[in-house]
C-alpha cells in the first residue's frame, strides 16, 4: 500500500520516476492514439505551456483579485462569440471542459422551464442517439429524463423524430455540430425549428466543431448554418482544449442573450463569509488554462487556425480515400475532423485488435461496427503507416474469433 513518504523526495529522483512511468503510455506524438490529444505543432504547445506557467498559481475563482484573468476570459469569450456569430446581446463564459459546459446549459434550460411552468412534471431532455453521453450524465445528476431518438440513414439526427418526442415537460432539445460517433453535423436549422415551434430551448453541442468548423467553412467546406445564425439556437458549447489547441481544462459556453446566460450561474449568500457566486459548476479554476487559451488564440489568429484546419482536413481525406480503397465505407458524410468507417463484410473488432498488436490505440464505433478517428496534426505524417497496418490487420482478421465491437470512450 502506498503511503506518504516520511521525508520528501528530491526533484531529480521524482523526475526520473515520472519519466519512467510515462514509458508505458502510448506514443501520442507518433499519432498512435485516435483521440484525447489535440496537437497543432510544438510552437503552439510551447505558447500554451509558457502562458499556463505564468499564471500557474492564479485562481479563476478570484477575478476581483486577478484582473488579468478577468480580461483574458472576457476576450476569449468575445473572440468565440465572434466566430459563432453571436449578436450584440449574446453572452458567455469559460468552463473547465465540455461536460461542464453541457451541465450548465442543461441547468440553465431546466431552471428557465421551471420558472415559466412551476407545475411542470419531470423535466425531459430530447436528443438523437448520437448526442454525447454528457447530456445523460447531466440529466442523471439534475433529475431530468433523457429521451433519445433514432438517426436518419446518413447518421444525422432526425428532426421529425425529435419534434415528435417533444412534450410539455421538454426543457431542452439538442443538436450536434458535429456528433462525436460519426463526425456528421446534424440539421441544426430543422431541429431548432422543431424546438421553436414548441418554445423549447435548443442547444448546439459544438464541443468538437466550435473552434474547427468556422475555419473549415472559410476554407470552402459547405455546411448548413449551425451556430447563432440559426433562429431558435439558444446556447452553444465549444471546447477550447480540442480544436482551439489550448491547454486542457478550457471550454466555452455561449448564450443568445443575457437572460439565458443568467441561468448559467449560481448565487448564495446565507453564510458568514458573504456572497458567493460563480458562472461555473466548479469554484477554483486553473488560471493557467484561462491564460493559455487567450495566448494560443492570439498566437494563431484566424490565419493560423485556417492553416491547421486545412492540414487536418487533408489528413481526413487521405485516410478516407485509403480505407475506401480497402473496401471500408465511410459512415455518413463527415466534413470536419472526425472519420468513422467499416464494413459488414469484415470483423471490425478483430481488425481493431490487429491494429492494437501493431501499436495503435484503436477507436471503435458500435452502430454500425467500425473504426473511429478524431484527427489532429500528429496523424498527418503517419497516414501511410496506419493504412499499411490496417491492411495487415484486415488480412489477419479472418483467422481470429469473431466478436462484437466493444468501444470505450
**Helices 383-396 and 287-325 sit at what angle, rounded to 10 degrees?**
60
pTM for the full model?
0.95
User: How many beta carbons lie within 10 A of that of residue 43, not counting itself?
Assistant: 11
- Under DSSP, is residue 249 helix (H, G, I), strand (E, B) or coil? coil
Examine the pLDDT at 103 and tell me if it is beyond 90: yes
| Angle at 250 (CA atoms; ends 217, 315), nearest 5 degrees | 40
pLDDT band (50, 70, 90) for residue 62: confident
Detail the DSSP E strand segments found in 142-248. 145-149, 170-176, 201-205, 235-239
pLDDT in tens, 277-328: 888 989 889 999 999 999 999 999 999 999 999 999 999 999 999 999 999 9
**Residue 362: C-alpha distances to residues 25, 181, 187, 393 (Å):** 14, 14, 29, 12
On average, the pLDDT of the chain sits at 94
pLDDT at 101: 98
pLDDT at 177: 98
| pLDDT, average across residues 93-106 | 97
Examine the pLDDT at 409 and tell me if it is beyond 60: no
pLDDT band (50, 70, 90) for residue 107: very high
Chain centre to alpha carbon of residue 206: 7
- DSSP-derived secondary structure letter, 44: H
Give the end-to-end CA distance of the chain in Å, rounded to a whole number: 30
Confirm if 186 and 179 have CB atoms less than 8 A apart: yes
Q: 93: which strand partners?
A: 253
| Angle at 385 (CA atoms; ends 379, 386), nearest 5 degrees | 65
pLDDT at 30: 87
Grid coordinates given for 248: 486542457
Grid coordinates given for 166: 417533444
pLDDT band (50, 70, 90) for residue 399: low
| pLDDT, average across residues 72-82 | 97
Q: What is the DSSP string of 276-330?
A: EEESSSSS--BHHHHHHHHHHHHHHHHHHHHHHHHHHHHHHHHHHHHHHHTTPEE
Examine the pLDDT at 398 and tell me if it is beyond 80: no
**Residue 75: C-alpha distances to residues 103, 209, 298 (Å):** 23, 20, 10
CA atoms of 157 and 248, how far apart (whole Å): 29
pLDDT at 215: 98
pLDDT band (50, 70, 90) for residue 201: very high
Grid coordinates given for 393: 490487420
| Domains identified in the chain and CATH numbers | 28-41+302-398 (3.90.1150.10), 47-297 (3.40.640.10)
pLDDT band (50, 70, 90) for residue 80: very high
- Under DSSP, is residue 51 helix (H, G, I), strand (E, B) or coil? helix
Examine the pLDDT at 199 and tell me if it is beyond 90: yes
CA atoms of 348 and 332, how far apart (whole Å): 17
Q: Residue 36: CB partners within 8 Å, gap ≥ 6?
A: 28
Amino acid at each position: 500500500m502506498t503511503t506518504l513518504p516520511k521525508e520528501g523526495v528530491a526533484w531529480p529522483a521524482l523526475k526520473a520516476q515520472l519519466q519512467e512511468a510515462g514509458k508505458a503510455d502510448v506514443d501520442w506524438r507518433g499519432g498512435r492514439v485516435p483521440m484525447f490529444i489535440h496537437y497543432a505543432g510544438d510552437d503552439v504547445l510551447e505558447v500554451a505551456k509558457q502562458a499556463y506557467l505564468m499564471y500557474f498559481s492564479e485562481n479563476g475563482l478570484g477575478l476581483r483579485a486577478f484582473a488579468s484573468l478577468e480580461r483574458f476570459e472576457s476576450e476569449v469569450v468575445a473572440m468565440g462569440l465572434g466566430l459563432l456569430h453571436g449578436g450584440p446581446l449574446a453572452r458567455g463564459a469559460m468552463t473547465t471542459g465540455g461536460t461542464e459546459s453541457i451541465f450548465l446549459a442543461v441547468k440553465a434550460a431546466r431552471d428557465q422551464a421551471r420558472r415559466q411552468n412551476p407545475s411542470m412534471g419531470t423535466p425531459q431532455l430530447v436528443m438523437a442517439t448520437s448526442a454525447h453521453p454528457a447530456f445523460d450524465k447531466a440529466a442523471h445528476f439534475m433529475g431530468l429524463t433523457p429521451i433519445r431518438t433514432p438517426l436518419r440513414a446518413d447518421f444525422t439526427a432526425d428532426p421529425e423524430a425529435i419534434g415528435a418526442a417533444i412534450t410539455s415537460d421538454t426543457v431542452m432539445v439538442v443538436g450536434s455540430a458535429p456528433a462525436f460517433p460519426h463526425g456528421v453535423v446534424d440539421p441544426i436549422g430543422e431541429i431548432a425549428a422543431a424546438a421553436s415551434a414548441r418554445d423549447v430551448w435548443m442547444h448546439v453541442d459544438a464541443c468538437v466543431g466550435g473552434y474547427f468548423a468556422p475555419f473549415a467553412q472559410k476554407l470552402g467546406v459547405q455546411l448548413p448554418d449551425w451556430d447563432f445564425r440559426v433562429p431558435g439556437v439558444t446556447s452553444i458549447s465549444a471546447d477550447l482544449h480540442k480544436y482551439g489547441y489550448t491547454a486542457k481544462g478550457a471550454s466555452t459556453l455561449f448564450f443568445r442573450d443575457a437572460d439565458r446566460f443568467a441561468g448559467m450561474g449560481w448565487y448564495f449568500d446565507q453564510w458568514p463569509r458573504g456572497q458567493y457566486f460563480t458562472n461555473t459548476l466548479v469554484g477554483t479554476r486553473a488560471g493557467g488554462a484561462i491564460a493559455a487559451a487567450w495566448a494560443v488564440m492570439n498566437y494563431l489568429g484566424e490565419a493560423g487556425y485556417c492553416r491547421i484546419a486545412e492540414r487536418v482536413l487533408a489528413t481526413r481525406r487521405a485516410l478516407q480515400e485509403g480505407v475506401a480503397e480497402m473496401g471500408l465505407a465511410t459512415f455518413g458524410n463527415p466534413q470536419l475532423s472526425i472519420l468513422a468507417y467499416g464494413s459488414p463484410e469484415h470483423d471490425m473488432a478483430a481488425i481493431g485488435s490487429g491494429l492494437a498488436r501493431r501499436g495503435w490505440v484503436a477507436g471503435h464505433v458500435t452502430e454500425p461496427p467500425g473504426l473511429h478517428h478524431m484527427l489532429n496534426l500528429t496523424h498527418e505524417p503517419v497516414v501511410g503507416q496506419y493504412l499499411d497496418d490496417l491492411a495487415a490487420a484486415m488480412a489477419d482478421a479472418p483467422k481470429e474469433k469473431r466478436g462484437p465491437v466493444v468501444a470505450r470512450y
